Amino acid sequence: MIYYTQIKTQIGNLGLVRDDNSFLRVYLPNEDISEQILQKIYPNVDIIEDKSGFEDVISQLTEYFDGNRRHFTIKTKMEMPQFYKKALAEVAKVPYGETVSYSQIAHRLNNPKAARAVGSANARNPFPIIIPCHRIIANNGKLGGYGGGLNMKKYLLEFEKENLNTH
């Protein structure tokens, strides 16, 4: 079984997807989430729109958007190459309100030439916000890309910086 729901946030509706055991994905507001789309990703599986089972995820995301959570403790399941998992694990360590470059993440992985691969891992991050790929920027200080668009990335970075000063 695959379950999905949506929650309203100040950046728009986030889509949430889980199976019976794990949280599988966050869809940003500019990404479509529907039973038809999920059926293509998870063929031959029953798909149900149901908010139950998402309580912890919704609670943590709500706390984040209220400015009261800086780190997530959600059990996730990632189906992706090992390097991408390692890169995203490193991205998850970037502190709230701070930014680091793709190159810095590559260096932390002892693979200094892998900045582009780190970018690819970020682009395939199934848990935006939770694994804060919005905190990863280009070496020149520019924002780089973001699945939700640069305005959303800029908003999230400014939101976190403002909350650092008020909490």
- Both structure tokens of 64: 């984040």
Domain limits for position 147: 82-166
**Cα 54 from Cα 12, distance rounded (Å):** 18
Q: Is residue 157 helix, strand or coil?
A: helix
What is the model's pTM?
0.92
Q: Is residue 41 helix, strand or coil?
A: helix
Mean pLDDT of all residues in 55-80: 94
Q: Is pLDDT larger for residue 119 or for residue 166?
A: 119
In a domain, 73, yes or no: no
In a domain, 75, yes or no: no
Counts of helices then strands in the chain (DSSP H, E)? 6, 6
Mean pLDDT of all residues in 16-44: 92
> How many domains in the chain?
2
Question: 103-123, pLDDT tens digit by residue?
Answer: 999 999 999 999 999 999 999
Q: Is the pLDDT reported for residue 165 higher than 80?
A: no
Residue in 26, 131, 133, 156 annotated catalytic:
133
Band of pLDDT at residue 167, cut at 50, 70 and 90 = low
pLDDT value, residue 72: 94
Beta carbons within 8 Å of 133's beta carbon, 6+ residues apart = 88, 91, 122, 125, 146, 147
Return contacts of 159-164, CB within 8 angstroms, 24+ apart.
159/67, 160/96, 160/97, 160/135, 161/97, 162/67, 163/67, 163/96, 163/97, 164/96, 164/97
CATH number at residue 151: 1.10.10.10
In a domain, 117, yes or no: yes
In a domain, 112, yes or no: yes
Specify whether 133 is catalytic: yes
The amino acid at residue 86 is K
- Both structure tokens of 47: 């798909």
Q: End-to-end alpha-carbon separation of the chain, Å?
A: 40
Q: What is the mean pLDDT of the chain?
A: 93
pLDDT value, residue 25: 95
Same domain, 61 and 86: no
